[in-house]
């Protein structure tokens, strides 16, 4: 890519897309194209066709997707498979029709089987059943990988698929109904610490910034106490504060700072092509996607303890084993990415500090 190349970032407002935009700007790229959902509905094939015909982007980062945690994935199953399939089908197909030089498609490591051997290698794709709660989303992302592979093989396109592990960072979602585990834990423990200190100014500021079920800081104290309790931040009979965490706390997860992920994506777009993602001597070309992660994992229980220590929370955790754990272990094998020349910089301890600072100052 040249600094004046026309680059379209689909999903530029999300956690992934915003990190890529910021990375490109920091590197001096000047011709970035973005569209909000109201300006361009990527599930509408006619709108996407018109956009590509008129704008003619040279490079595309496909970071747009419908995303969510376990509850959202399991509740809105039809929405997750339909919308993600439509987004990627439209963008990838019209990238081909309009001769885009290179496209980077972003998926997720939930594409791997529920009981996948650890660490998860790219070659383990489609070797067993998926985790049920996010199966529709995973199937959509697998289809995106195969779409890129198939267009490369049939039409000679240069489409690369990357599968980031669990991401967190600036512009993360802290809505307790929809957020992923790390931002949810940071917010709940932040609120627990404020309740522990009887710091209603901090609680009110938090609820004003992001109301919980419509409850803001201006509500009466009992209403605020009840909504906090509903989401697992509560005063115990002994006077201490507890924070509820879904599941047993035993599952292990790998976390990647979103700005590290963006650096990896831009590195691949600048330095690697689709032909670099597989060996030349293969009879069947498959599993050309690239894991993006740290190769390191941490249990949810230990993650919560790290956040607790960082925030100075003295209360207790209640692990609700009636809630789903999801896959017990999910750790990526990142040897392929390392061979291609990239390695992460931010570990999870430093990342917690950076994300908490973002949250309280946004």
The residues assigned a catalytic role are: 137
Taking residue 160's Cβ as centre, other Cβ atoms within 10 Å add up to 23
- Which residue shows structure tokens 């956040």? 307
Cis amide bond preceding 251, omega within 30: no
Question: If DSSP states are collapsed to H, E and C, what string results for the chain?
Answer: CCCCCCEEEECCCCHHHHHHHHHHHHCCCCCEECCCCCCCCCCCHHHHHHHHHHHCCCEEEECCCCCCCHHHHHHCHHHHHHHHHHHHHHHHHHHHHCCCCEEEEECCHHHCCCCCCCCECHHHCCCCCCCHHHHHHHHHHHHHHHHHHHHHHHHCCCEEEEEECEEECCCCCCCCCCCCHHHHHHHHHHHHHHHHCCCHHHHHHHHHHCCECCECCCCCHHHHHHHHHHCCEEECCCCCEEEEEECCCCCEECEEEHHHHHHHHHHHHHHCCHHHHCCCCCCCCCCCCEEECCCCCEEHHHHHHHHHHHHCCCCEEEEECCCCCCCCEECECCHHHHHCCCCCCCCHHHHHHHHHHHHHHC
Could you tell me the sign of the dihedral formed by the alpha carbons of 309, 294, 301, 135, in that order?
A: positive
CB 85 within 8 A of CB 66: no
For residues 85 and 65, give the distance between their C-alpha atoms in angstroms, rounded to a whole number. Answer: 9
């Amino acid at each position: 890519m040249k600094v004046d190349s026309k680059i379209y970032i689909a999903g530029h407002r999300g956690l992934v897309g915003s990190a890529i935009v910021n990375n490109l700007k920091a590197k001096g790229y000047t011709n970035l194209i973005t569209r909000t959902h109201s300006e361009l509905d990527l599930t509408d094939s006619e709108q996407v066709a018109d956009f590509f015909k008129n704008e003619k982007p040279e490079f595309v980062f496909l970071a747009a997707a419908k995303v969510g945690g376990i509850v959202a994935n399991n509740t809105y199953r039809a929405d997750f498979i339909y919308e993600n399939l439509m987004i990627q089908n439209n963008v990838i197909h019209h990238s081909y029709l309009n001769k885009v030089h290179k496209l980077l498609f972003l998926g997720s490591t939930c594409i791997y089987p529920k009981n996948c051997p650890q660490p998860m290698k790219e070659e383990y794709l489609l070797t067993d059943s998926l985790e049920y709660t996010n199966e529709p989303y995973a199937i959509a992302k697998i289809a995106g990988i195969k779409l890129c592979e198939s267009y490369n093989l049939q039409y000679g396109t240069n489409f690369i698929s990357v599968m980031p592990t669990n991401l967190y960072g600036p512009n993360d979602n802290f809505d307790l109904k929809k957020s992923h585990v790390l931002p949810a834990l940071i917010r709940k423990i932040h609120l627990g610490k404020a309740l522990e200190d009887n710091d209603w100014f901090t609680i009110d500021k938090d609820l004003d910034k992001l109301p919980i079920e419509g409850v803001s800081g201006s509500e009466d104290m009992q209403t605020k106490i009840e909504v906090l309790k509903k989401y697992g931040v509560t005063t115990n009979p002994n006077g201490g504060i507890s924070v509820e965490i879904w599941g047993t706390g035993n599952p292990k997860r790998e976390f990647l700072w979103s700005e590290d992920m963006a650096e990896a994506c831009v590195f691949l777009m600048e330095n690697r092509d689709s032909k670099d993602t597989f060996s030349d001597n293969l009879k069947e070309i498959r599993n050309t996607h690239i894991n993006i992660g740290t190769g390191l994992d941490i249990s949810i229980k230990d993650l919560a303890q790290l956040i607790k220590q960082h925030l100075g929370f003295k209360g207790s955790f209640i692990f609700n084993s009636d809630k789903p754990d999801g896959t017990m272990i999910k750790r990526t094998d990142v040897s392929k990415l390392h061979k291609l020349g990239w390695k992460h910089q931010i570990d999870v301890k430093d990342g917690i500090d950076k994300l908490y600072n973002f949250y309280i100052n946004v």
